[in-house]
Structure 1
Amino acid sequence: MPEILAVLPALLGMDWLDPDWLLDQFGEHLIWVSLVILFIECGLFFPFLPGDILLFAMGLFIALENIDVVPGPPLVEITAAVVAMAAAAFAGNVTGYEIGRKIGPVIYERDGRIVKRKYFDLTHQFFQRHGPLALVIGRFFAVVRTYITVVAGATDMPRRRFYVWSLVGAVLWVVTLTLLGYNLGRRFPQLGEHLELALILIMVLFAIPMVWEYFRNRKHAHETH
């Protein structure tokens, strides 16, 4: 187990995908870095950012008083952090939606190295299956939450409907994960010394619906053939 924990940042891809590393590097400014990361992940076609992990870690850091977001007790800080991060996620969604309305089909046809056509196809299938609710459910799927907004824009989903469902999804996603980290940190302070274990748990937890959706798509593909 120690060997696995030691290579967790490598498993995540880079040091800056490790919340502990981010906290060491940016300290009190981590909240601003988090807002930028959430905005990019939710709207600018970069699905390999640590949104889920970062939300959980921010809640944990606030509970353990490792970071001061705003002056006041932890309850005030967690409230301010949740509002700010939900706003950043929603703003990213709106940006992705507007990009999708303007150049979504062009991006799809290019099939780039990062913005891959298969991601669009996966997200479009997800969107067709769940309708507007996909903007809420898709928040908890790493790749889907990045591309769902572009697909919504490219398929001319009405703005008002998109804004409503996207806001609901942003709030639920941020509140669920941030408060999970916050409440666990308040109840089990020692968790701060074993953050890697908690992050692995979060990764596994959110991999389950992705695996389930993958096999569901395969089953559907076999049935249609």
Structure 2
Amino acid sequence: MLGAALSFRDLLNPETIIQYGGLVLLIGIIFAETGLFFGFFLPGDSLLFAAGLLCESKYLSTPVGILIPLLILAAILGSTVGYGIGRWAKNYLEHRKENFFYKKKYIDMTETFYQRHGMMAFVLGRFLPIVRTFVPILAGMARIDFKKFWIYNLLGATAWIVSMVLAGYLLGNAFPGLIDHLEIIVVVMILVSTIPVITTFLRSQRKVLKEKVK
């Protein structure tokens, strides 16, 4: 029923995801987008903001005090699975043929971000589309100590979920009419979150070019 109701295009629309899929689909997408390499295209920031805006409403009746811990858990588990995928599939991913779901440039971009920020990449990377999907996979490929990874994973997931969901929730309560302009807000959030991703990508491309010159 749900699969028939939601098309691929619908899965990119935060409002539609929440209205038709509710809490279950919301948790599933956050899980997939934070560590499964095929989940990079799914909405993250805008979906969490929309969840905060729509929670305790007819579309999402879950109280914000319950919603936030559930989403933090989903994000932590998703990244942990991503770490496991990276450890298990290091050689497989490095020699895998590129397709829509896997491109080496995503790993290169994430590696550049990690080299720039160190372990804080697991916190800061949560706020960057694509990077937050591939950072835990890269951590597994690099065999980063799991305890250290898990601590920063917890910090990053908590900071990301709390800030995004509470922003939507508090603004929704302060300006009830904001929900009528959710589509515009989502578009703006996507554009804003894309800027640092493009910057990181350009840096990774420069790094590749320098290595080729050498």
TM-score using structure 1 length: 0.83
Query: Which residue of the partner structure matches residue 36 of structure 1?
Result: 28
Q: Is 1:193 matched up with 2:177?
A: no
Alpha carbons 1:111, 1:117 under 8 Å: kept? no
Q: CA deviation at 1:62?
A: 1.4
Query: Which residue of the partner structure matches residue 171 of structure 2?
Result: 184
TM-score using structure 2 length: 0.87
Relative to structure 1, the CA distance from residue 222 to residue 119 in structure 2 (aligned partners, 3 Å threshold; closer, same or farther) is closer
Q: In structure 1, how many angstroms separate the alpha carbons of the residues matched to 2:125 and 2:151?
A: 15
Alpha carbons 2:51, 2:165 under 8 Å: kept? yes
Q: CA deviation at 1:110?
A: 0.6
Larger proportion of helix:
1
Tell me which of 158, 167, 175 is aligned to 1:171.
158
Q: In structure 1, how many angstroms separate the alpha carbons of the residues matched to 2:115 and 2:177?
A: 44
Q: CA deviation at 1:16?
A: 2.3
Q: CA deviation at 1:63?
A: 5.7
Query: Which residue of the partner structure matches residue 15 of structure 1?
Result: 10
**Aligned residue type for 2:13:** D
| Mean CA deviation greater in 38-47 or 157-166 | 38-47
Unmatched 5+ stretches in structure 2: 1-7
| Mean CA deviation greater in 119-128 or 211-220 | 211-220
Identity %, equivalent residues: 34
2:73 is paired with a residue whose SS is helix
Tell me which of 45, 50, 61 is aligned to 2:43.
50
**Aligned residue type for 2:181:** H
Q: CA deviation at 1:53?
A: 1.2
Query: Which residue of the partner structure matches residue 54 of structure 2?
Result: 61
Q: In structure 2, how many angstroms separate the alpha carbons of the residues matched to 1:136 and 1:222?
A: 28
**Aligned residue type for 2:16:** W
**Aligned residue type for 1:197:** I
Q: In structure 2, how many angstroms separate the alpha carbons of the residues matched to 1:22 and 1:221?
A: 38
Relative to structure 1, the CA distance from residue 39 to residue 123 in structure 2 (aligned partners, 3 Å threshold; closer, same or farther) is same
Q: How many residues matched?
A: 203
Relative to structure 1, the CA distance from residue 154 to residue 220 in structure 2 (aligned partners, 3 Å threshold; closer, same or farther) is closer
Q: CA deviation at 1:216?
A: 4.2
**Aligned residue type for 1:41:** E
Q: Deviations over 1:144-177 (max 9, x none)?
A: 1111101101111001000000110101111111
